[in-house]
Chain A
Amino acid sequence: MIAVFNRELKAYFSSILAWVLVSIYLLIVGFIVAFSIEDFADMSMAAMQGMRQANAMEQLVPPLLTTMGFLLLFFLPLLTMRLFAEERRSGTLDLLLTYPLTEAQILAGKFMAAMTVVGMMLAFTLSGFIMLGRLTPLDWPVLGIGYLGLLLLSAAFLAFGMWASSLTSSQLVAAVVTYGGLLMLWILSGVDRSGALKERFGDLSALAHLTNLTKGVLDTQDLVYFLALAALFLFLTARVLESRKWRG
């Protein structure tokens, strides 16, 4: 597993794609944090005039974290699209599957490498909150729960992206399928206005579950939702890899 992990991590950073993705994500998040801080300063001024105190942990941090999660929806498919599709296209997957590695080890190596890149992306964004912390008091444990939410969301998104990548030898098709699936997952609560889906299956929208975590609410339901989603798509990816054994 470690061999696959190291190779994937090297592959990410030896191509310009990972650097571009991380840089642009940080740039966008940086802009949003800067503008949010400015807005928050205005709000604080207005609140002081009204003798009320503005609370960054309520008015600033949750929407910021949610926006960061929404942005991940656009960046993560670009990280996962090549994981299996490119290996399938070039034939390296065939060779890899004849090495003394299990499908689970290959899968875990690739997944952990992608998670490491996302972890780095998110870690860099913390600098914005550190700056914010100098201007207004922040509840760091609550912020930590928000970041845990982003990591769990990423795990689920990456697992879905890996599954899509395992289905095809075209990176483009893998990316498009991932965008479609993740967008659907994100907007599900908005689409299900009557609440029929929610009534039958519970809240399936990623947005709803992330929102709770960004507010610092550590609910088992939200954790289970993201972990189950990640586990389901990792399992499906493993089945796709194993399908060569029973197809025919």
Chain B
Amino acid sequence: MISADRLTKRFGDHTVVDSVTFEVEKGEILGFLGPNAAGKTTTMKMLTCYFPPTDGTARIAGFDVVEESLKVRRMIGFLPENVPLYPEMTVREYLEFAAAAKSVPHADRRQAVTQALDRCNLGEVESQLIGTISRGFRQRVGLGQAIINQPPVLILDEPTVGLDPAQIRDIRELIKELGRTSTVILSTHILPEVSLTCNRVVILHKGRIREVDTPENLTAKLQTVNTVRLQVRGPHQEIQEALGQVQGVQDVTRLEEPGSEGAIFRVQAPRDLEVRGELSRLIVQKGWDLLELHSEGISLEEIFLNVVQREVETNQGGEAA
């Protein structure tokens, strides 16, 4: 549905996006993950035909973003970062404007607006001025205008930035729901966002793609240690020492979590060594109470830091050579 081939954008001597290549299948939710200034927004602006790439090509639903810009723009719904809207319009008026501007046939506009209001749960604020509604509702209005023409492709730039946790959860659910009918690209620098919403992740850093894979595969690929979390009731110092004696255990850290029952430990062992059985047997043999034991996957935050760290090391190695 979306393909980018060596997509590059330069502003003067500064390369903001550097030869980015990826594909997104129909029905997929792809996450662009990267810190600020990674090139996420610039890539999205090229895909939405805001400006053309300096080099490379991109196609959406088979249409070239430069040569067939108007056709591409009919196929996409875009939510820019910070959701720019017209505060003097009511929510309904704004969606009616978006429907007209996106060439929704006159006869279908009322239904398109009603559907967008329903899907984005905007019914209670439809008659309110946009300038008076909350940030969460503004975000929903932004999504409403993006889906008003039922585009097969949605491009969402930082859709949850600036929202409180409840609003983030609501918008995340909404994006998943929208992902059932559209192909979605979303960008974020909030790591849990991607693992909770996306089928695949593109890690961008300094304008280049560092990794492309599913969150699960990235975890498997980049996980260097096997981490187990234990909650045990008993003599803390003794437990920590005993855990450290188990064969293969590299490190035992006691975690401070006020209010929790017993003591919490994080045990690290080599990636391919299963230590959970050994740990549980040890605790039972010693007569301590095992309250909780589970294996912790590597977080996307760690994956991201690994990727960036690996690049820094590669660069340093190259410079030293």
A-side interface residues toward B, CB under 8 Å?
A: 2-4, 6-7, 10-11, 14-15, 90-92, 94-102, 244-245, 247-248
Contact = CB atoms under 8 A, between A and B. Distances in A.
A87 to B, nearest CB: 8
Contacts of A11: 86, 88-89
Nearest to B72: A100
Interface string B117-150: 0000000000000000000000000000100000
Contact of A98 (B10, B76, B82): B76
Given A3-B100, A248-B11, A95 B84 contact: yes
A41 B306 CA distance: 90
A227 to B, nearest CB: 28
Given A7-B101, A14-B88, A99-B98, 19 more contacts: A3-B101, A6-B97, A10-B89, A10-B93, A11-B88, A14-B89, A90-B86, A91-B80, A91-B82, A94-B45, A95-B84, A96-B101, A98-B73, A98-B76, A99-B101, A100-B73, A101-B101, A248-B10, A248-B51
Given A3-B97, A7-B97, A98-B48, A92 B12 contact: no
Given A99-B101, A100-B70, A248 B54 contact: yes
Interface in B35-56: 45, 48-52, 54
B112 to A, nearest CB: 13
B86 A98 contact: no
Which 3 A-B residue pairs are closest in the complex by CB-CB distance? A91-B84, A3-B100, A3-B101
Contacts of B80: 91, 94-95, 98
Nearest to A7: B97
Given A95-B80, A98-B50, A248-B9, A7 B103 contact: no
Output the residue of B12, B74, B97, B145 with the most chain A CB within 10 A. Answer: B97
Contacts of A99: 73, 98, 101-102
A247 B42 CA distance: 14
Contacts of A95: 78, 80, 84, 145
Interface string B71-108: 00110101010101110110001000110111100000
Contact of B84 (A15, A92, A245): A92
Contact of A102 (B9, B12, B52, B70): B70
Interface of B: 9-12, 45, 48-52, 54, 70, 73-74, 76, 78, 80, 82, 84-86, 88-89, 93, 97-98, 100-103, 145
A121 B97 CA distance: 26
Contacts of A15: 88
Given A10-B89, A95-B80, A244 B101 contact: no
Contacts of A98: 48-50, 73, 76, 78, 80
12 contacts: A7-B86, A7-B97, A94-B80, A94-B84, A95-B84, A95-B145, A98-B80, A99-B73, A99-B98, A100-B73, A100-B103, A244-B50
Contacts of A97: 50
A248 B12 contact: yes
Output the residue of A91, A92, A248 with the most chain B CB within 10 A. Answer: A248
Nearest to B70: A100
B99 to A, nearest CB: 8
Output the residue of A2, A15, A92 with the most chain B CB within 10 A. Answer: A92
A66 B101 CA distance: 39
Contacts of B51: 244-245, 247-248
Contacts of B10: 248
Contacts of B76: 98
Contacts of A10: 88-89, 93
A158 to B, nearest CB: 21
Contacts of B12: 248
Contacts of B82: 91
